[in-house]
Chain A
Amino acid sequence: MNTMPNSNVVVADKLPPPSTVKPRRFSMPILGLIGLCIVVFWLLMAVIGPTISPYDAGQIVDADVFGGLSRKLLLGSDYLGRDMLSRILFGTRYTIGLALAATLLACSIGTGLALCAALAGGWVDAVMSRTLDALISIPSKMFALMMVASFGSSPELLIITAAITYMPGSYRISRALAVNVQTMEYVQAARARGEGALYITCIEMLPNMIRPVLADAGLRFVFVVLLLSGLSFLSLGVQPPDADWGSLVRENIAGLGEGAPAVIMPALAIATLTIGVNLLIDNLRGKRSRKD
Chain B
Amino acid sequence: MNKNAKANVKTSDSDLVKVSGLRVVAAKDSGDDVVIVKDVDFSVARGEVLALIGESGSGKTTIALSLLGYARAGCRIVGGSIRIGQRELLSMTRSELSHMRGRDVAYIAQSAAAAFNPSKTLMDQVIESALIHKAMTRAQAEAKAIGLFRSMALPEPENIGKRYPHQVSGGQLQRLMAAMALITDPELVILDEPTTALDVTTQIEVLRAFKNVVKELGTTAVYVSHDLAVVAQMADRIVVLRDGQIREVGSTGQILTAPENAYTQSLLAAAAPAAREQLPLAPEQERDVPLLRIRGLIAGYGRPDNKGLPSVRILDDINLTIRRGTTIGIIGESGSGKTTLARTVAGLVAPARGSITLDGEALPPTLQGRSREQFRRVQIVFQNADTALNPAHTIGRMLARPLTFYHGLDSNAKRKRIAQLLDLVQLPGSVIDRLPGELSGGQKQRANLARALAANPDLILCDEVTSALDTVVGAAILDLLAELRRELNVSLMFISHDISTVRAICDDIVVLYAGRMVAKRPREAMMAPPYHPYSHLLLSSVPALKQGWLEQVCGRVPQDLPAIGEVASSPDICAFLHRCSLRVDGTCNLVPPLRRSLEHGGEILCHRTDTDLRHLQQPLIAVEGVTV
Q: Which of A235-278 contact B (CB under 8 A)?
A: none
Nearest Cβ in chain B — how far from A284, in angstroms? 16
Give B316-348 as 1s and 0s: 1 = Cβ < 8 Å from A's Cβ atoms.
Answer: 000000000000000000000000000000111
> Which chain B residues (406-436) contact chain A, with CB distance < 8 Å?
407, 420-421, 423-424, 426, 428, 430-431, 434
Contact residue among B372, B375, B384, B407 (Cβ-Cβ distance under 8 Å from A192)? B375
Q: Please, which residues of chain A bring their CB within 8 A of the CB of B476?
A: 12, 14-15
> Is the Cβ of B382 less than 8 Å from the Cβ of A189?
yes
Contact stretch, chosen from A1-9, A106-114, A121-129, A157-165: A1-9
Q: Which residues of A contact B391 (CB under 8 A)?
A: 186, 208, 289
B383 and chain A: residue at smallest CB distance: A185
CB distance from A9 to the nearest CB of B (A): 5
- Judged by a CB distance under 8 angstroms, whether A188 is at the interface is yes
If the complex has contacts A185-B384, A292-B437, are A18 and B375 also in contact, measured as CB distance less than 8 A? no
Residue B57 interfacial (CB < 8 Å): yes
Within 8 A of A (CB), among B29-45: 29
Task: Give residues of chain B (366-410) contacting chain A, Cβ–Cβ below 8 Å.
Answer: 367, 370, 372, 375-376, 379-380, 382-384, 387-393, 401-402, 405, 407
Question: Using Cβ atoms and an 8 Å threshold, which residues of chain B touch A14?
Answer: 266, 472-473, 476
Whether B426 pairs with A12 at a CB distance below 8 angstroms is yes
A186 near B388 with CB under 8 A, answer yes
Query: Are A193 and B424 within 8 A (Cβ)?
Result: no
Chain B nearest CB, measured from A119 CB (Å): 13
Q: Known contacts A6-B420, A184-B387, A207-B392; is A189 also within 8 Å of B380 by CB?
A: yes
Q: Which of B92-100, B141-149, B438-446, B537-545 contacts A (4 or more CB under 8 A)?
A: B438-446
User: Contacts of B57 on A, CB cut-off 8 Å?
Assistant: 16
Q: Is the CB of B375 within 8 A of A193?
A: yes
Shortest CB-to-CB span from A121 to chain B, Å, is 14
On whether the beta carbons of B488 and A195 are closer than 8 Å, the reply is no
Which residues of chain B are within 8 angstroms of A16 by Cβ–Cβ distance?
57, 440, 442
Q: Is B467 an interface residue (CB 8 A)?
A: no
> What's the A-B contact tally at a CB cutoff of 8 Å?
102
Complex CA–CA separation, A227 to B259 (angstroms): 73
Interface assignment of B245: CB less than 8 Å from any CB of chain A: no
- Contact with A7, one of B367, B370, B390, B423 (Cβ below 8 angstroms): B423
Could you tell me if A7 and B434 are in contact, using CB atoms closer than 8 angstroms?
A: no
Query: Is residue B456 within 8 Å, beta carbon to beta carbon, of the partner chain?
Result: yes
B359 within 8 Å of A (CB atoms): no
Do A188 and B348 touch across chains, with their CB atoms under 8 A apart? yes
User: With A192-B375, A194-B367, A208-B390 known to touch, is A18 a contact of B431 (CB < 8 Å)?
Assistant: yes
Closest residue of A by beta carbon distance from B266? A14
Answer whether A21 and B438 are a contact pair too, CB < 8 Å, given A4-B420, A7-B424, A191-B367: yes
With most chain B CB atoms within 10 A of its CB, the pick from A5, A192, A204, A207 is A192
Q: Once bound together, how far apart are the Cα atoms of A184 and B438, in whole Å?
A: 19
A19 cross-chain contacts in B, Cβ below 8 A: 438, 440
> Is B128 positioned at the interface, with any CB of A under 8 Å from its CB?
no
B-side contacts of A208, CB under 8 Å:
390-392
Expressed in whole angstroms, the Cα–Cα distance for A191 and B440 within the complex equals: 26
Give min CB distance, B544 to chain A, whole Å. Answer: 25
Give the residues in chain A near B443, CB-CB below 8 Å: 15, 18
A287 an interface residue at 8 Å Cβ cutoff?
Answer: yes
User: Is there an interface contact between A9 and B390, defined as CB atoms closer than 8 Å?
Assistant: no
**Bound form: Cα–Cα A18–B388 in Å:** 19
Is A292 a contact of B473 with CB atoms below 8 Å?
A: no
Please give, as numbers and ranges, the residues of chain B lying within 8 Å of A142 by CB-CB distance: none
B456 touches A2 (CB 8 A): yes
Most chain B beta carbons < 10 A, residue from A3, A193, A207 = A193
List residues of chain B with CB within 8 A of the CB of A18. 428, 430-431, 434, 438-440, 443
Interface residue? B455 (CB, 8 A):
yes
- Max chain B C-beta neighbours (<10 A), residue from A2, A188, A207: A188
Which chain B residue has the least Cβ–Cβ distance from A204?
B390
* Chain A residues near B437 (CB-CB < 8 A): 288-289, 292
A120, B57: Cα distance in complex, Å: 42
Cβ of A134 under 8 Å from chain B? no
Question: Shortest Cβ distance from B262 into chain A, in angstroms?
Answer: 12
Cα–Cα, bound, A265→B300 (Å): 66
CA distance A11 to B571 in the complex (A): 52
Cβ-defined contact, A186 with B390, below 8 A: yes
**Given the known A-B contacts A14-B476, A189-B380, A204-B390, are A9 and B423 also in contact in the complex, defined by CB atoms under 8 Å?**
yes
C-alpha spacing A289/B428, complex, angstroms:
23
Tell me if A63 is interfacial: C-beta within 8 Å of chain B. Answer: no
Asked whether B483 is an interface residue with its Cβ less than 8 Å from the other chain, the reply is: yes
| Shortest Cβ distance from residue A198 to the other chain B in the assembled complex, whole angstroms | 13
A194 near B438: Cβ-Cβ < 8 Å: no
Give complex CA distance A188, B431 in Å: 23
Report if B551 contacts A (CB, 8 A): no
With contacts A185-B382, A188-B382, A192-B348 taken as known, whether A1 is within 8 angstroms of B370 at the C-beta atoms is no
A10 located at the interface, meaning its Cβ lies under 8 Å from any Cβ of chain B in the complex: yes
Query: Cβ of B487 < 8 Å from any Cβ of A?
Result: yes
- In this complex, the member of A1, A191, A195, A207 whose beta carbon has the largest number of chain B beta carbons within 10 angstroms is A1
Q: How far, in Å, is A29 (CB) from chain B's closest CB?
A: 12
Q: Which residues of B contact A287 (CB under 8 A)?
A: 29
Complex alpha-carbon distance, A224 and B40, angstroms: 58
CA distance A19 to B439 in the complex (A): 7
* Neighbouring A residues of B402 by C-beta, 8 Å: 193
Task: Kindly provide the distance from the CB of A89 to the nearest chain B CB, expressed in whole angstroms.
Answer: 40
Q: How far is the CA of A16 from the CA of B379 in the complex (A)?
A: 28
For the complex, give the distance between the alpha carbons of A259 and B382 in Å: 66
Q: Report B100 CB to chain A, min CB distance, Å.
A: 31
Q: Is the CB of A192 within 8 A of B367?
A: yes
B493 to chain A, nearest CB (A): 13
A6, B392: Cα distance in complex, Å? 30
The residues of A that contact B393 with a CB separation of less than 8 Å are 207
Judging by beta carbons under 8 Å apart, are B438 and A7 in contact? Answer: no
With contact pairs A1-B456, A188-B382, A193-B402 given, residues A9 and B426 touching in the complex (Cβ less than 8 Å) = yes
Q: Contacts A16-B440, A194-B375 hold; do A5 and B488 have CB atoms under 8 A apart?
A: yes
> Given the complex of chains A and B, what is the CA–CA distance between A21 and B437 in angstroms?
11
When distances are taken between beta carbons in the complex, the residues of chain B under 8 Å from A11 are 426, 428
| Chain A residues numbered 43-102 whose CB sits less than 8 Å from any CB in chain B | none
- Bound: A21/B432 CA distance, A: 12
Contact with B along A15-49 (1 / 0, CB 8 A): 11011010000000000000000000000000000
Known: A1-B407, A9-B423. A292 touches B438 (CB 8 A): yes
Question: Do A10 and B426 contact each other (CB < 8 Å), given the known contacts A15-B442, A18-B443?
Answer: yes
Q: Known contacts A9-B426, A186-B390, A204-B390: does B382 contact A21 (CB below 8 Å)?
A: no
User: When the two chains form their complex, are residues B487 and A7 in contact, meaning their CB atoms are under 8 A apart?
Assistant: yes
CB-based contact B426/A186 at 8 Å = no
A188 surroundings in chain B (CB, below 8 A): 348, 382
Q: How far is the CA of A11 from the CA of B426 in the complex (A)?
A: 6
Give the docked Cα–Cα distance between A287 and B389 (Å).
20
Residues of B within 8 A of A3 (CB): 420
Do the beta carbons of A189 and B388 come within 8 Å of each other?
Answer: yes
User: CB distance B388 to A191 under 8 Å?
Assistant: no
**Interface pairs (28), CB distance under 8 Å:** A1-B407, A2-B456, A3-B420, A4-B420, A5-B488, A6-B420, A10-B426, A11-B428, A14-B473, A18-B443, A19-B440, A21-B434, A184-B387, A185-B382, A185-B387, A185-B388, A186-B389, A186-B390, A186-B391, A188-B348, A189-B382, A191-B348, A192-B346, A192-B347, A193-B402, A193-B405, A194-B376, A208-B392
* Chain A residues in the interface with B (C-beta under 8 A): 1-7, 9-12, 14-16, 18-19, 21, 184-186, 188-189, 191-195, 204, 207-208, 287-289, 292
Q: Can you add 15 more A-B contacts, CB < 8 Å, to A19-B440, A289-B391, A292-B437? A: A4-B424, A4-B487, A4-B488, A15-B442, A19-B438, A185-B382, A192-B346, A192-B375, A192-B380, A193-B401, A194-B375, A195-B405, A204-B390, A207-B390, A287-B29
Please list the 7 inter-chain residue pairs (A to B) with the smallest Cβ-Cβ separation, ordered nearest first.
Answer: A194-B375, A207-B392, A185-B388, A186-B390, A185-B382, A185-B387, A192-B346
